[in-house]
Structure 1
Amino acid sequence: MTNLFSIFDPSTSIFELKMNWMTTIIVMMLLPTSFWLMNNRYSMMWTKPINILHNEFNTLLNNKNKSMSMMFITLFTLIMLNNLMSLFPYIFTVTSHLSTTLTLALPLWLTLMLYGWMINTENMFMHLVPTGTPTVLMPFMVCIETISNIIRPMTLSVRLAANMIAGHLIMTLLGNTAMMMTMNTLMVMLMIQMLLLMLEAAVAIIQGYVFAVLMTLYTSEVN
């Protein structure tokens, strides 16, 4: 089991230099070229989903603070690119560690909570008691809503990290058994691996989308 989980070990080094975390910014070094190159099919293909996300996030935000949607689009892009990068061989899975996912979730959640309680205090108190709650259950609902608000950054972080770890572990377990298979079984296993790789690519995009949408919903509650 130690060898199995060693693919998620962040302490490995190359030439005494810890290069694992460099994968987070490798893609970001290539992205700025799209801002000064001429329009092409690649930029058009990337602009269309950004416009769709921009309209969707604005709807979730009730068309308030439209500039905030760009922040969540950037968050989605960062998570999605890091998830997709981790599907390549010998590339460190950055988003499988709470040190990365919690760093993304905790500051945003804490900022929203501070803003909400300082600016919209009455509105934040209203969220602690859902509409139609019986008077007898109000103290319990306040406790439940408070706990649910506090654990939000942890649930965001664990959801993203657990989904990335689960898919990579399944592919690793299947890959480790390849040496003991016959040729016919090996061909079936390769087809399964290809299907799993396609599934992981979809999960990489979906998890970034879920993370950004949930943060947008938390922001709309504060506003």
Structure 2
Amino acid sequence: MRDELTDSATFQVVVSPLDNVAGIPTKALATEFKALFESVLLLHRHPRTLIQLVIQTTSKPPTATPTVNLSLNRGGSATASEEEQQKHRAPLLLGPDAPFTFAEIAVSINASTLALIDAVRRLTFSVLVDPSPEEERVAHSCHVYAFAFSGYNPMNPADAESELAAQLVYYASAGGTSAKQRAELFTVAEESSKQQLGYLRDALRTQDV
């Protein structure tokens, strides 16, 4: 709740090493990825939601043995140049301080992009009929439908539902929705209104009695 934003989604990036704890290079890469994807994601379309991207390298090629340039001394034995010797005396950073290879960074960007695209493609939503004030406050979007029904035959109540024809006479909404979502919402609202109509008829019959 403390990270909830009223005008956009909260976006978090976690880079999780497979065999070590997160060090400075890991946290730095997570910060860079967060800035990268925030520049292209439409976070304003998903207020009060959390998008969390977790990146983890599961395998990588083994570290190659460096090739040292050798030269022959006067005695004929092979020796490394002083420059090469000095370079390879530098300590190899391991564990949390090991830097990411450029290949790992590129693969992480590609995998993250595909994961975010797949998440959007699989995005589902729940529809609440007659929500509470608290549910309405945190909802992604709110809608009101009103229908005029015709075709009801009181002489044949068994087929009343199949004979009903609904006509939309009022609609109000707030929040962003896609065309597909609006079509699904219309179907839910129409079915719910039919159920409410049946409840009202039963209540009126009871009152008349």
| Fold similarity call, TM over 0.5 | no
Please state which structure has a larger fraction of its residues in helix.
1
Please state which structure has a larger fraction of its residues in strand.
2
What TM-score does the superposition give when structure 2 sets the normalisation length? 0.25
Q: Which has the larger radius of gyration?
A: 2
Larger RCO, structures 1/2 (Cα 8 Å, 6+ apart)? 1
What TM-score does the superposition give when structure 1 sets the normalisation length? 0.24
